[in-house]
Structure 1
Amino acid sequence: MTTFIQLHLLTAYPASNLNRDDTGAPKTVTLGGTTRLRISSQSLKRAWRTSALFEDALVGHIGIRSARIGRKAADIMTANGIDDKKAVEWGTAIAACFGKPKTEKKKEDPFLLTETEQLAHISPAEFEAVKALALKLATEKRAPDAEELTLLRQDRMAVDIALFGRMLASSPAFNVEAACQVAHAFGVGETLVEDDFFTAVDDLRAKSDDAGAGHLGETGFGAALFYTYICIDRDLLLKNLHGDEALTDKTLRALVETALKVSPSGKQNSFASRAYASWALAEKGTDQPRSLAAAYYNAINGSDQLSVAVDRITALRENMNRVYGQQTDSESFNVADAQGSMAEVLDFVCA
């Protein structure tokens, strides 16, 4: 039987623009006939995997996601005496291991050919193999052979690849199925997106020259209590990490703590909208996982939003378990009532 770990988080953000659409406005979703703020799963996952907290906990086990892997190899070769033409040719061959190299040529940047069309997510072991091969080719002043261009690895997997997966269209044998699924976070209450009109003053402009502002602008923002749902297939995570129980537990602990503490980076300098989860529920069991988003299809409006949100999701979980006959162990904390603790939730998840 598969063991699933499910996390349900309620996190309150004041005025913020954590995740923008193509117009620069906060992303939204219509739910239950009302507009809610939204944070995409991609935004959440990137914030978590690139955070100092995650990196410090899992140093040496986090991958690189880039289209410039071949360019990095070419840079190493040119720094060690290989001319640009050969570095581009050999760097492009290395890039082809991870995806389709770009075909657009630019006189001002011939190294553009060493980049891939799509981002490739590679493990530290794969990145080290790329750098070692580039240095070897530069030292021996020769092109790579076919055997040397087998740079993808299935062992020593990066924890973020094990969690969030990877897809390599040109090398499907090295694809990794994601062990962690992250839903788009959404506000539990209706939100009206507002525009902040702002001005900037030119410090070197005298009032006698011009009393007006040096710059005018506006940016969208909103505030919400967000519900976030995360589902982890622990057995698949263990499999992706090649049976390393210690690394699996370390990864789970780092991911959960990061999800509780780390905010997306969008417009943080403008709004300082950093927040910890105010309430969290962790579930563990072999039953088919399910989100508890239905608790918030009817928007919660009013001053006691957090308390009502906790009551609704708790009641829905109890009803779900009763109706479907589910048996999931759980651990939770509630900051508002000083009940439980993050340490207890982390220990439960990793037990």
Structure 2
Amino acid sequence: MTKQNLYIDIHALQSVPVSNINRDDNGEPKSAMYGGAMRARVSSQSWKHAMRDGFKHTDITSANRTKMAAKLLADNIQKVDSSLDDEAAMKKSEEAFKLAGVKVDKEGNTGALLMVSPGQITKLAQYVVSNDELDKKAIKAVLKGDQSLDLALFGRMVADNPELNVDASAQVAHAISTHRVEPDYDYFTALDDLQPKDTAGAAMLGSIQYNSSTLYRYANLNMHELIHNLGTEDAFNGASEFVKQFLLSMPTGKQNTFANKTLPNYVMVVVRTDTPVNLVSAFEKPVPSTEDGYVTASITKLEKEYTSTLSMVEKPILKVVLNREDSTSDGQVENLTELLNKVTESLKEAVQDEDTDD
């Protein structure tokens, strides 16, 4: 029996004050043209990095994304067999990665960043030490198993050997402002505390670009792909943590300058069995500027867009809302814990129903 689709859609509206949390190559806040209007933008890569940092502050095991995977493996090989010196351990490590189809240069670095979980490195070290003759199929199997949550969520691409690729179970959209944004500039000066009293002027001056915005943020999760990567129980816990970290994390660009850390004003989480639906089209026409700000009008447009999609897609099996602006939204819950519990319960029921049908 083919299992039906099972997706989580996460929609969030978040007011961000004066900030520069994600910069381009000129140091300016990233932007995007949408609906004929310039918008503030925060890249998906930037927010996924912030989420991975959030995982590291929990008891969840996180992967290492590094060019130094061979050195990491060599260190673990020495932990398993302390009689091996650095050179011998590195030689065994390089041999293992070569058999896996991953190129390692003379400095011991892979050609590109490689995402490996601690479980994979630990098991590979044990395998290398325990076997005089290494089998490439066994090595590949180790590098595909024991996935950490972030590896299972965001996937892995290995150009040297696509067999080691891990399909991502989650997608994160670039966040954009629901309204038109014009950049601002902060001209700043710095004084020398010890300069003579008869000396006028600043010791340093400069400028930095910034903006402020109400962002629409979206991500989705393919639950069956996550179960495939992690196993059922770990996938339920992982899905809950994914939702939590998506909502609570924020990229840290210029954080010390602007102290811009905020929380979402509005959250809608939808569990569906047909297809993921990004609701950014609610803001193709920018929210106009008023004295009431952008959040309330953005919530109204988002909920209207969600309702309009029901004429084309199936009604979801769960819609839950955490609205800090108004408690009258359909599916409203009191707090994040209640939201996460409802999402987890809905996922378990959906998976259990499928197993029963089998």
TM-score normalised according to structure 1 size:
0.85
SS at match of 2:144: coil
Q: Which residue of 2 aligns with 1:269?
A: 256
Amino acid at match of 2:338: E
SS at match of 2:305: helix
Amino acid at match of 2:319: S
| Contact in 1 for aligned 2:69/2:116 (Cα 8 Å) | no
Q: Which residue of 1 aligns with 2:147?
A: 157
SS at match of 1:50: helix
CA distance in structure 2 between the partners assigned to 1:153 and 1:73 by the alignment: 12
CA distance in structure 1 between the partners assigned to 2:88 and 2:212 by the alignment: 54
Matched, 1:206 2:209: no
5 Å-filtered alignment, 1:227-246, equals 227-241=216-230, 243-245=231-233
| Structure 1 residue ranges without an equivalent (≥5) | 104-112, 138-142
Please give the per-residue CA displacement for 1:139-190, whole angstroms capped at 9, x wherever unaligned: xxxx985448926433321111111111112332231111111110000011
Amino acid at match of 1:117: G
Identity %: 29
Once the 2 structures are TM-superposed, how far is the Cα of residue 58 of structure 1 from its aligned partner?
4.3
CA distance in structure 2 between the partners assigned to 1:13 and 1:2 by the alignment: 34
Please give the per-residue CA displacement for 1:23-54, whole angstroms capped at 9, x wherever unaligned: 11010000111110101111011100112xx2
Distance 1:70 1:314, change over 3 A: same
Distance 1:73 1:239, change over 3 A: closer
Distance 1:76 1:57, change over 3 A: closer
Q: Which residue of 2 aligns with 1:70?
A: 70
| Contact in 1 for aligned 2:73/2:121 (Cα 8 Å) | no
Q: Which residue of 2 aligns with 1:326?
A: 314
CA distance in structure 1 between the partners assigned to 2:74 and 2:218 by the alignment: 42
Please give the per-residue CA displacement for 1:212-265, whole angstroms capped at 9, x wherever unaligned: 222222221100000011111111111111x332x1121111111111111111
CA distance in structure 2 between the partners assigned to 1:292 and 1:320 by the alignment: 9
The one of 277, 296, 305 equivalent to 1:307 is 296
Q: Which residue of 2 aligns with 1:38?
A: 41
| Contact in 1 for aligned 2:72/2:121 (Cα 8 Å) | no
Amino acid at match of 1:69: A
Distance 1:206 1:75, change over 3 A: farther
Please give the per-residue CA displacement for 1:72-123, whole angstroms capped at 9, x wherever unaligned: 34567899797776666555445544733236xxxxxxxxx20112100111
Once the 2 structures are TM-superposed, how far is the Cα of residue 303 of structure 1 from its aligned partner?
3.1
Distance 1:167 1:319, change over 3 A: same
CA distance in structure 2 between the partners assigned to 1:78 and 1:316 by the alignment: 57
Aligned residues: 329
Distance 1:211 1:71, change over 3 A: farther
Q: Which residue of 2 aligns with 1:186?
A: 176
TM-score normalised according to structure 2 size:
0.83
CA distance in structure 2 between the partners assigned to 1:78 and 1:160 by the alignment: 26
CA distance in structure 2 between the partners assigned to 1:78 and 1:165 by the alignment: 28
Distance 1:82 1:157, change over 3 A: closer
| Contact in 2 for aligned 1:92/1:115 (Cα 8 Å) | no
Q: Which residue of 2 aligns with 1:13?
A: 16
Amino acid at match of 1:302: T
| Contact in 2 for aligned 1:331/1:344 (Cα 8 Å) | no
Q: Which residue of 2 aligns with 1:348?
A: 342
Q: Which residue of 1 aligns with 2:30?
A: 27
CA distance in structure 1 between the partners assigned to 2:211 and 2:304 by the alignment: 28
Question: Once superposed, what is the RMSD of the aligned Cα atoms?
Answer: 2.7
| Contact in 1 for aligned 2:76/2:122 (Cα 8 Å) | no
Amino acid at match of 1:293: V
Distance 1:273 1:98, change over 3 A: farther
Once the 2 structures are TM-superposed, how far is the Cα of residue 71 of structure 1 from its aligned partner?
3.0
The one of 322, 326, 332 equivalent to 1:337 is 326
CA distance in structure 2 between the partners assigned to 1:325 and 1:169 by the alignment: 36
| Contact in 1 for aligned 2:178/2:216 (Cα 8 Å) | yes
CA distance in structure 2 between the partners assigned to 1:188 and 1:98 by the alignment: 45
Q: Which residue of 1 aligns with 2:60?
A: 59
CA distance in structure 2 between the partners assigned to 1:232 and 1:206 by the alignment: 61
| Structure 2 residue ranges without an equivalent (≥5) | 346-358
| Contact in 2 for aligned 1:168/1:174 (Cα 8 Å) | yes
Amino acid at match of 2:35: G
